[in-house]
């Protein structure tokens, strides 16, 4: 049985020899690749197009969602790393013993790690370099308000006929036991730090909570029922 060979014309070429014009046009029409304007897309093809669009949307959403989560995680990790958790020493809470360790009117104690002096002021200590009427615990930042030198307590220093002062070794600024400036180039009195005392009498100095020194320094002293009087 003889098989009839059917020749398919090339698009854009001229009708081949032996192929009629109608056959040629019909062949071209069956090979169209774009729908005519207004033509309806067959159901199966429309469904496939919708699936393709949904897949692209899903991939795009997954990508940006994952990227957002990764960025969020990185920022969270960085904040967690930078958070000043468990700060000890200067800038954080520094334990300073119990209130019973501080005799009223006694010599100030130095805490180098917290950068402060702590003393139990005696309001009866009315000498020139004394408490200035303050009663209770007062924490003084040991940094001189002039140019930042560390200010020591100098029990042996005699100034203005009185003995026992804070005296800066750099330019001689001199302060009372309550941190009031009486001499020197310092622009103000010594700065103070916040004090917390729990029910058991344990002292914590909040070295990150500082107030510029002022004439009210003696009034900033903190009292406690167990503080020696």
- Alpha carbons 7 and 12: distance in angstroms, whole number: 15
Min dist CB 186 to ligand FES, Å, is 5
135 or 178: CB nearest ligand FES: 178
Q: Which residues pair with 110 in a beta bridge?
A: 117
Burial of 204 (0-12, 13-18, 19+ CB in 10 A): middle
Min dist CB 119 to ligand FES, Å, is 19
Q: CB of 92 within 8 A of CB of 116?
A: no
CB contact burial 77-100 (16+ within 10 A = b; e otherwise): eeeeeeeeeeeeebebbbebebbe
Q: CB of 163 within 8 A of CB of 155?
A: yes
140 or 197: CB nearest ligand FES: 140
111 or 166: CB nearest ligand FES: 166
Min dist CB 144 to ligand FES, Å, is 3
88 or 171: CB nearest ligand FES: 171
Contacts of 128 (CB under 8 A, 6+ apart): 159, 160, 161, 162, 176, 182
24 or 183: CB nearest ligand FES: 183
Q: CB of 201 within 8 A of CB of 100?
A: yes
Min dist CB 139 to ligand FES, Å, is 19
Min dist CB 76 to ligand FES, Å, is 43
Residue 180 CA from chain centroid, whole number: 34
Eight-class DSSP state of 36? P
180 or 195: CB nearest ligand FES: 180
121 or 186: CB nearest ligand FES: 186
Chain positions contacting ligand FES, by CB under 6 A: 144, 146-147, 149, 168, 170-171, 173, 184-186
Question: The tokens of 72 are what?
Answer: 């969020």
Min dist CB 147 to ligand FES, Å, is 4
* Sheet with 192-197, edge to edge strand ranges: 93-98, 202-211, 192-197, 136-141, 116-121, 109-111
Min dist CB 168 to ligand FES, Å, is 3
């Amino acid at each position: 049985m003889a098989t009839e060979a059917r020749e398919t014309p090339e698009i854009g070429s001229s009708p081949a020899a032996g192929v009629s014009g109608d056959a040629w046009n019909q062949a071209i029409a069956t090979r169209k690749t774009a729908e005519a304007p207004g033509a309806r897309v067959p159901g199966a093809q429309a469904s496939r197009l919708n699936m393709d669009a949904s897949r692209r949307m899903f991939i795009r959403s997954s990508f940006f969602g994952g990227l957002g989560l990764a960025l969020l995680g990185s920022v969270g990790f960085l904040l967690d790393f930078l958070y000043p958790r468990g700060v000890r020493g200067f800038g954080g809470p520094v334990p300073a013993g119990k209130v019973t360790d501080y005799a009223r009117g006694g010599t100030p104690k130095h805490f180098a790690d917290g950068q402060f002096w702590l003393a139990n002021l005696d309001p009866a200590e009315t000498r020139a370099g004394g408490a200035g009427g303050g009663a209770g615990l007062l924490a003084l930042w040991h940094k001189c308000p002039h140019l930042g030198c560390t200010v020591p307590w100098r029990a042996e220093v005699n100034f203005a006929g009185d003995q026992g002062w804070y005296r800066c070794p750099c330019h001689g600024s001199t302060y009372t036991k309550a941190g009031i400036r009486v001499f020197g180039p310092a622009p103000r009195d010594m700065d103070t730090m916040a004090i917390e005392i729990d029910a058991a009498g344990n002292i914590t100095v909040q070295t990150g909570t500082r107030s510029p020194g002022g004439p009210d320094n003696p009034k900033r002293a903190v009292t406690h029922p167990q503080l020696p009087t």
